[in-house]
Structure 1
C-alpha cells in the first residue's frame, strides 16, 4: 500500500513547482517514483487530479479540492513527525527487508545490539531472497546485494560482499579438485536461481575467466545452497560470511584458492532522502561501520585463501547513488 502522506506531498510539490520532475528533485526521489505516487493518489481518490500537457500542468476541479486537503494532511503529518523526532532516540516501527542468508548470518546479531541501544524501537524484519517492492510492501529500508538495483530507489553503499568457491571434502574426494577455472565445466556446480544465468567470472591478478557451469542442483534459497554444498552435492559460490565457520572447521574447502569472483556492494535502499525515518537513518549509520568491521574479521583459516567475492541477489537497473 502506497504511503498516502508522501503521495499527498508529491501532489502538493508537483502543483507548486509546476512538474513532477521538479517535485521529485525537491523530495529526493526518482521521477518514476514521483509519477507513481501521483497515480496512486488519483487511484485512491477515484478521480483525475491534473490535466497534463507537454507544456504545463493544470488542476481539475476535483484536484483543487484535493490540493487543499493534501496541504492540510502534509501539515498535520509534519507536526506529528516533529513530535516523534523530539525524542532522545529512534522509536516506533522500522520495517526492513533483506536476503535470508544475510539476515541469518549478520543482520540478526547486529539487530540485537541495535535494539538494546534503542529500547523504544521495534523492528519488522522480512527475510526473503525475492526483491520486495518498497512502496507496495511499505518497507522503510531494504538491504540488497549487488550493483544492479531498483532505479526508483535511493541507494547507499554499506560495504562489500565477497564470495568463495567451496565444496565438501567428500565431494572433492569423489570428483577431484579442479586446478583451473575451465575445469569447473566438468564438475557439479551448484547455482543460485537469482544469480545471472550459470556463468561464473573469476579473476587472478590481471587474468579473468568466465566459465559456463553445469550441475544437478539449483535453488532460489541461499541457505539451501549452502546445505547442498555441505552435503557433498557439488561446488558452490557462496558469500564468505556464510561459510567462514565451515571453512575454518574443515567442513568445506576453498576451491581454486588463487582465483576470486568479482566483489559487489551491499546497498541500503529507500524511497526518499527527505522521508527516510530517523530510525532507518540511525540503523544505516550503525550497520555501515559494523559490516565493514565484520568483513575484516571473517577470514577463513585456509592457506592461500582467495580474497573472496560476493554473491549477487538480483539483476535490476542501476540505482541512483546516495
Structure 2
C-alpha cells in the first residue's frame, strides 16, 4: 500500500477521534491543504465520502463511521509491522509478548467491550488482555492499568484523556418502596425520603439534580445513604430509599422486570463527562491507541450503555436533559 494511503487513513482516524480534520492535521503535523487532498484522494478510491463537508467542522458520514474500527486496526497493524521490522533489523527474531491491562467500571454493561477487545490478541500475537475495574488516576499513573475509563476528566498532568460524551442517570426506587411510601409528586418531596447515592470519594460525585433549567441540591437536611455501586444497588432493591445516580445498565434487569421504577420523570443527577485515559508516556503506543479507539467508538455508538436508549425505552422526557456545552 502506498505510504500516502497509510497517511490518509491516519488522518481519517485522528479526525474521528478529535472531531475535526484541522485538528487531525495539526496533531499529525500535516498542512491542512495536504490533509484535505489525502482524504479526498482516499474518498475517490473508495467511491464514497468519508467526511460530510456541509457540516462545520466536517463530520464522519455513516460510511465513514462504519470504517472506523477497521481503519484503527489497519493503522495499528502498520505500527506493529514497523516495530517488528525494526526488531528484525536488530537481530531479534523472538515473538514479543506483552500484556494490556484495561480498567472498565463495574456499574455498566461491559460485555460489548470485552467482545470487541478480544479481537486484539488475534490481530497482535503475543498480546494478553487483562481486565480490572475502577482504577483511579494515581493507580493508572503507577501502572496498575494501561487504559482506564473515568466518569470525569482527570486532572493529573501525566495522563491523556479523550472525551467520550456524557452519561445521564434518572431517579429510581423499588416497586416495594413506592408501594409503602407516600407518592412523590415534586422534587421538594425528596426531603421526606432517604436518598441513596454514591459516596463522596467517587470522583464524579455530585449532589445536584437537574430538570431542564431547574436545579435541586441534596443538602444536609436530607437523609442520605452513601455507598459504592454494589451497596447502592442493594439498598435500592431492598427498598431503602430513592437512588439518584445509579447507572441504568447496572440495574437493567430490575428496570426491565419492573422491580425498580423511575421516579420524578425529567429529574436527573447532573450529567457526568466520560473519558478514556492512558499515561502520556504510552499515548503513542499503537496497540494502546487502537484499544482506546475501540472503547471510545463503542461508548459513543453502541446502544446498551447509551443513556438516551434508556430514556426512550422508559418513555422519560429526554428534552429535559441539557448537556454541558463543549
- The TM-score range, normalised by the shorter chain, is 0.5 to 0.7
RMSD: 3.6
Report the counterpart of residue 110 of structure 1 in structure 2: 113
TM-score, normalised to structure 1's length?
0.60
Is residue 186 of structure 1 aligned with residue 187 of structure 2? no
Distance 1:308 1:223 in 2: 28
Task: Count matched residues.
Answer: 228
Distance 1:116 1:80 in 2: 17
Give SS of 1:170's match.
helix
Q: Give per-residue Cα distances to partners, 1:8-60, cap 9 Å, x unaligned.
A: xxxxxxxxxxxxxxxxxxxxxxxxxxxxxxxxxxxxxxxxxxxxxxxxxxxxx
Report the counterpart of residue 222 of structure 1 in structure 2: 229
Query: Measured at CA, do residues 302 and 207 of structure 1 come closer, stay the same or move farther in structure 2, by a change above 3 Å?
Result: same
Contact 1:260–1:307 (Cα < 8 Å) also in 2 = no
Contact 1:146–1:265 (Cα < 8 Å) also in 2 = yes
Is residue 153 of structure 1 aligned with residue 159 of structure 2? yes
Distance 2:274 2:103 in 1: 13
Q: Give per-residue Cα distances to partners, 1:49-74, cap 9 Å, x unaligned.
A: xxxxxxxxxxxxxxxxxxxxxxxxxx
Is residue 141 of structure 1 aligned with residue 142 of structure 2? no
Report the counterpart of residue 70 of structure 2 in structure 1: none
Distance 1:179 1:292 in 2: 34
Q: Of residues 204, 209, 212 in structure 2, which corresponds to 1:205?
A: 212
Distance 1:242 1:79 in 2: 37
Aligned counterparts, 1:294-313, within 5 A: 294=303, 295=306, 296-299=308-311, 301-305=313-317
Report the counterpart of residue 75 of structure 2 in structure 1: none
Structure 1 gap segments, 5+ residues each: 1-77, 311-320
Moved more, 150-159 or 295-304: 295-304
Structure 2 gap segments, 5+ residues each: 1-78, 89-95
Query: Measured at CA, do residues 228 and 265 of structure 1 come closer, stay the same or move farther in structure 2, by a change above 3 Å?
Result: same
Report the counterpart of residue 94 of structure 1 in structure 2: 100
Report the counterpart of residue 82 of structure 1 in structure 2: 83
Distance 1:84 1:167 in 2: 58
Distance 1:173 1:97 in 2: 39
The higher-RCO structure (CA 8 Å, 6+ apart) is 1
Contact 1:189–1:234 (Cα < 8 Å) also in 2 = yes
Contact 2:173–2:236 (Cα < 8 Å) also in 1 = yes
Contact 2:176–2:239 (Cα < 8 Å) also in 1 = yes
Query: Measured at CA, do residues 114 and 148 of structure 1 come closer, stay the same or move farther in structure 2, by a change above 3 Å?
Result: closer
Contact 2:255–2:261 (Cα < 8 Å) also in 1 = yes
Q: Give per-residue Cα distances to partners, 1:299-318, cap 9 Å, x unaligned.
A: 463243557989xxxxxxxx
Aligned counterparts, 1:222-261, within 5 A: 222-236=229-243, 237-261=245-269
Contact 2:152–2:204 (Cα < 8 Å) also in 1 = no
Query: Measured at CA, do residues 156 and 176 of structure 1 come closer, stay the same or move farther in structure 2, by a change above 3 Å?
Result: same
Q: Of residues 278, 290, 305 in structure 1, which corresponds to 2:286?
A: 278
